[in-house]
Amino acid sequence: MKIISVACLQDNYAYLILDEITRDAVVVDPVEPEKVVDAAKHHGAQLKIVLTTHHHWDHAGGNDKIKQLVPGIRVYGGSIDNVRGCTDKVNNGDKLSLGADINILCLHTPCHTKGHISYYITGHERDDPAVFTGDTLFVAGCGKFFEGTAEQMYQSLCVTLSSLPKPTRIYCGHEYTVKNLQFARTVEPNNASIHQKLEWAYKQRGEGLPTVPSTIEEEMETNPFMRVDQPELQSKVGCGSPVEALQEIRRLKDNWKG
Ligand code: GBP
Ligand code: ZN
């Protein structure tokens, strides 16, 4: 499978996932449908499925339009997330497939929104798996807790997503990496991986390139929200448990002025 990022709006990403044998394609969060349809044409891809991570307009807001542009396209979204234009509601553990090699597993990752879904996708055995995390997991960060608790975000980040294979590529909903790493550095000033990745992220952005994908392994090294199981990190933020630490790091980030 081939994965193509499509930059949308200010800092959103839509993604095309293309089965190179049948040319069938999935698109994640096509908020600017024309851009996605153009990208599909450019790659000779037939759009068949929309995967919506959550109901916010900057993710689901293109669904009605893409249904007009691509008749017959199916639109998937979380069963309790009220996704605009949704034709097929999904729940944790649901499986879909497309083309010769694309297999999709729906993972309920609530907290940013109640019904947020992340999509874990495997292709041919030579391809690394990929997970599309919307606004639950960002590179070096996580989404704001709009519709859930720290307990739920802990489950989503540190249980569900952390259990995926280490080489899994992470494709998130926004390009927030530089800001997130600048904040991460304030939490863990002595973490060399954060400094290295920040230098790399400056360079990528300076060249107009994305900082996605990351990997589960890299996030375990650099993402403070995914590192709350580490006792050293808990004591740094003055907390005695992973969930408390997650709540506190979120509070610090919400108040951080960059
Ligand atoms: C920035 O850092 O660039 N402009 C600021 C923050 C996701 S988008 C923007 C912001 O708050 N982004 C949201 C977030 O979770 N950020 C994580 C963080 O700052 O650490 N959204 O567009 C946001 O979800 C939205 C849309 C929100 C509809 C509520 C509704 Br309703
Ligand atoms: Zn959102």
List the domains of the chain with CATH numbers.
Answer: 2-255 (3.60.15.10)
CB 61 within 8 A of CB 84: yes
Where residue 258 falls among pLDDT bands split at 50, 70, 90? confident
pTM of the predicted model as reported, rounded to 2 decimal places: 0.99
| Residues near ligand 2 ion, CB 5 Å cutoff | 56, 135
Cβ-in-10-Å burial (0-12, 13-18, 19+) of 240 comes to exposed
Q: Write down the pLDDT at residue 210.
A: 98
Integer Cα distance of 110 and 200 in angstroms: 30
Look up 54 and say whether it is catalytic.
Answer: yes
For the stretch 119-133, pLDDT in tens is 999 999 999 999 999
Average confidence (pLDDT) over 113-124:
98
Q: Atom 17, ligand 1: which residue's CA is nearest?
A: 143
The set of residues, in sequence order, having a beta carbon less than 8 Å from that of 182 and lying 6+ positions away, is 198, 258
Amino acid residing at 25: A
Nearest Cα to Cα of residue 81 among 73, 72, 90: 90
Protein residue whose Cα sits closest to atom 21 of ligand 1: 56
Residue 108 designated active-site: no
CA of 2 to the centre of ligand 1 (A): 28
Taking residues 181-189, what's their average pLDDT?
A: 98
Beta strand ranges found along 79-128 (DSSP E) = 88-90, 95-98, 102-108, 117-122
- Please enumerate in sequence order all residues whose Cβ is within 8 A of that of 221, keeping only pairs 6 or more positions apart, or say none: 191, 193
Average pLDDT over residues 62-80: 98
